[in-house]
Each structure stands twice: as C-alpha cells, then as structure tokens.
Amino acid sequence: MEDGFSSFWGPVTSTDRCEKNYVHSSYIAEFFNTISNVPGILLALIGLINALRQRFEKRFSVLHISNMILSIGSMLYHSTLQRVQQQGDETPMVWEVLLYFYILYSPDWHYQSTMPTFLFFYGVGFAVVHALFRFGFGFKLHYAILCLICIPRMYKYYIYTKDAAAKRLAKLYIATLLLGSICGVSDRVFCKQISNWYFNPQGHALWHVFMGFNSYFANTFLMFCRAQQREWDPKIFHFWGVLPYVKIQKPKSQ
C-alpha cells in the first residue's frame, strides 16, 4: 500500500498489497509479506532433506526445491514491489503447478517422454510471454485453470488411499488451502476497511504461511501415494510429534 515513504528500490511498479510500505525498513517494502515466506522455505527444506535421505525419485527433490524458489521469489517481490520481481514470483508459480501435474498424471501416462517434453516447452513459452507482457486477471485465470486440472487426480489418490494418517494429510492440505484463501481474499477485498483499523491482521502474510504448510502437506501426501505405487511400504511419522513425514522401506533389490 503506497504511503509516500522514500525507499531503496524506487517507485512501486508491481501490484501493491494492503500492507503499508516501508514502515519497518527502507529496504523492505512489505515487511510481513516478505518474512512470512520463511516458513515455506524451511518446510520445503525439511521435505527436501527427507526425500534425499530416503532416496525418493528425483521429481520430489525438484518439487521441494521449486517450493523454495517460489518462496524466495515471493520474498524478492514483496521486499521490492518491482515488476520484474513480481514476474519472478508468478512464473515459478506456473512452473510449480506443471510439476505437480507431471507427478500426478505421469504414472498412468503411456508415452513417458511426451509429457515432460510438452510441460517443459509449455513452461518456457509461458516464461517468455510473461516476460514480454503484463498480465493481471489473465494470469490468475490461467493459474486457476492449471490448478483445477490437478484436482480430479488428487481426489482419485485420496479415495484410493486407505491409510488414515495419509488421508489426514490430504485433509490438512484442504484446510490450509481454505484458510489461506480466506485470509488472502479478505486482505484484497476489504483492504480499504482494514487500512482504517488500528491493527492490520496481515491477511496476505497469513496466506503465505498457510500456503507454505499447504505445499508441504501436498508434497508429503504425494510422496506417500507414490511410495505405495512403488510398493515401498510407506508410513506416516512425525518430527517432534508434530510435523508429518513419510518413511519408506524399499525392497532390498532397490
């Protein structure tokens, strides 16, 4: 939210959120919207370490790394409020959904080389177009359509999974998505009213926190489902009795 404060990054050229700009530092435009990405980075790092330690397929390591890249891009965007940094946030969002699409649909895809090739060129093409043209509603619509394409497959995984702990992960995924959406939409729709409050609840920052957990729960659930497909005897355990993770037992031949 533009406030007329001097800044290191110059005038705002990107979409501005409801948080007041440069209140805490002349180097960070939206302080809470920036630091709220830290949980997402830490959760993705935990997921990456677990995927590498247990030698999951590389697709899951790439997925966790993409979550970290997305959170870092979001930090750069909200700390600078520059158009280039906003594109550096939005483009990885699309790449990440393409990666989820691959993980969800590739096990039953008969032409194994076709899907990754198509998704790669689709991602590159989008990055080029997005760098040349500025999208508003068009980007949101495109992103929403990609997400909706993933839902039927996610639901199929849920109904075919019998493990109660794994189903709980899917429910946590839905819960964090709904809570995060409520916070993010409220921050945008009621920004004028919120600006007059004594205390700003920082709805967009809460969206970041919830989506960090949302991505972690989604990744963990998909790792469990994939381990079931590979007959790796997956089980859900918890770090410190709180944070769920997948533990597998591969056959000796693997």
Q: Name the binding residues.
A: 16, 19, 21, 30, 78, 204, 208
Q: Which two tokens stand for residue 141?
A: 């619509």
Q: pLDDT at position 106, please?
A: 86
Nearest to 127 by CA among 98, 102, 104, 105: 98
Evaluate if residue 173 carries a pLDDT over 80: yes
Q: pLDDT at position 1, please?
A: 55
Q: pLDDT at position 235, please?
A: 96
Q: pLDDT at position 115, please?
A: 87
Q: Could you give the dihedral angle defined by the CA atoms of residues 65, 70, 72 and 78, in that order, rounded to the nearest 10 degrees?
A: -170
As beta bridge partners, residue 244 has 238
Give the tens place of pLDDT for each residue, 80-109.
999 889 998 999 999 999 999 999 998 877
Give the tens place of pLDDT for each residue, 199-230.
899 999 999 999 999 999 999 999 999 999 99
> How far apart are the C-alpha atoms of 82 and 160, rounded to whole Å?
44
Q: What residue ranges define each of the domains in the chain, with the CATH number in brackets?
A: 31-249 (1.20.1070.10)
Evaluate if residue 110 carries a pLDDT over 70: no
Nearest to 232 by CA among 215, 244, 250, 214: 250
The dihedral of CA 143, 146, 149, 151: what is its sign? negative
As beta bridge partners, residue 75 has none
Residue 190: C-alpha distances to residues 18, 19, 32, 144, 171 (Å) = 9, 12, 18, 22, 28
Q: Name the binding residues for Ca(2+).
A: 16, 19, 21, 30
Q: Which two tokens stand for residue 146?
A: 């990609």
Confidence of residue 4 (pLDDT cuts 50, 70, 90): very low
**Model-level pTM greater than 0.95?**
no
Look at 102-111, 112-121, 161-170, 187-196 and tell me which has the smallest mean pLDDT: 102-111
Give the tens place of pLDDT for each residue, 57-83.
999 999 999 999 999 999 999 999 998
Q: pLDDT at position 58, please?
A: 94
Evaluate if residue 37 carries a pLDDT over 90: yes
Instruction: Identify which has the larger pLDDT, 47 or 194.
Output: 47
Q: Could you give the dihedral angle defined by the CA atoms of residues 104, 106, 107 and 108, in that order, rounded to the nearest 10 degrees?
A: 100
Q: What is the DSSP letter of 56?
A: -
Q: Name the binding residues for Zn(2+).
A: 78, 204, 208
Mean pLDDT value across the chain: 91
Size (the chain), residues = 254
Residue 58 · residue 67 · CB < 8 Å: no
